Amino acid sequence: MKVGIVGAGMVGSSAAYALALLGLANEVVLVDLNADLARAQAEDISHAVPFVSARRVTNGDYADLKGANIIIIAAGVSQRPGETRIALLGRNAEVFRSVIAEISRVAANAILLIASNPVDIMTEISTRLSGLPRGRVIGSGTILDTARFRSLLARHLSVSPQSVHAYVLGEHGDSEVLAWSSARVGSVPVETLARQLGQPLDADARAMIDGGVRNAAYTIINGKGATYYGIGAGLARIVRAISRDERDLLSVSVSTPDILGVRDVALSIPRIVGADGIIGDVMPDLDATERDALRDSATLLKSLADAVPL
């Protein structure tokens, strides 16, 4: 398994580090407009590899992505002072136009894994630019939000996060939807288990967990400027599902033909992820409030994506 990463900043390098330490790729190639940065990140990660695996981490240019099975795109531009979100999206679309054209030239069959924010919109844009089937252009979506949701629920209930089955849906952002009504621990509804354990999920507990999920990125950014370890691990988890054909259920973002009446929009619901990318979609049971919130999230994302000139 060969994985390319375009964009050697904190997210791209964290993904490379996770892939190398977990031994999920035989070869990882970092490509960046700043060749010195890509070289430095590759060398630094290479020095960690002998402690845990025998994987190869290198840097190069687009030609070195030839033969890659998966390519993570973590490139993009930063927002300028006073710049609108649509203007920023337009500039990022131009970056992606160039990046995807180069990838298509050397690795046309690679699965694209989108990490750049706003990830749902960039996933939709990448699908349109690449012309690839929708299941082969995958955004990291709410995989990290879902991990945060499960972690906070597990902490409240004093159980393992691996035993919690709960998802965050829709946008990776402010309009995301915590699917409380379908949350389970093992096979038991989370509300039922909370009562059994004497840790009821009252309004205050729910608000604390909801706020912890929604505000996690802001808290981290305020403290250290950016988030990257969590999403780096999340990207590695998606790569694992593809490389091992695990057919795991992961909350990732994919251009979706129809979601609650909103057509052709990239957003997250649980998806079956395997060797060919997205194999199927799974819609959890939602209550009326959650369905309305998911429809609103999809409508917002659709309007933003359609406003970006391509």
Which of the residues are catalytic?
Answer: 172
DSSP summary character for residue 117: S
Please, which residues bridge with residue 266 across strands?
A: 255
Distances 56 to 47, 137, 178, 245 between C-alpha atoms, Å: 10, 25, 39, 22
By C-alpha distance, which of 286, 288, 267, 289 is closest to 278? 267
Distance between CA atoms of residues 89 and 298, nearest Å: 17
Report how far residue 173's alpha carbon sits from residue 148's, in angstroms, rounded to the nearest whole number: 13
> Do 190 and 150 touch, CB atoms closer than 8 A?
no
Q: Kindly tell me the burial class for residue 184, based on how many C-beta atoms sit within 10 Å of its own C-beta (0-12, 13-18, 19 or more).
A: middle
Token output for 212: 């912890």
**Tokens 């840097």 belong to which residue?**
59
CB 164 within 8 A of CB 186: no
Alpha helices, DSSP H, located in the chain:
10-22, 35-48, 85-106, 119-130, 143-157, 190-196, 203-214, 216-224, 229-243, 288-306
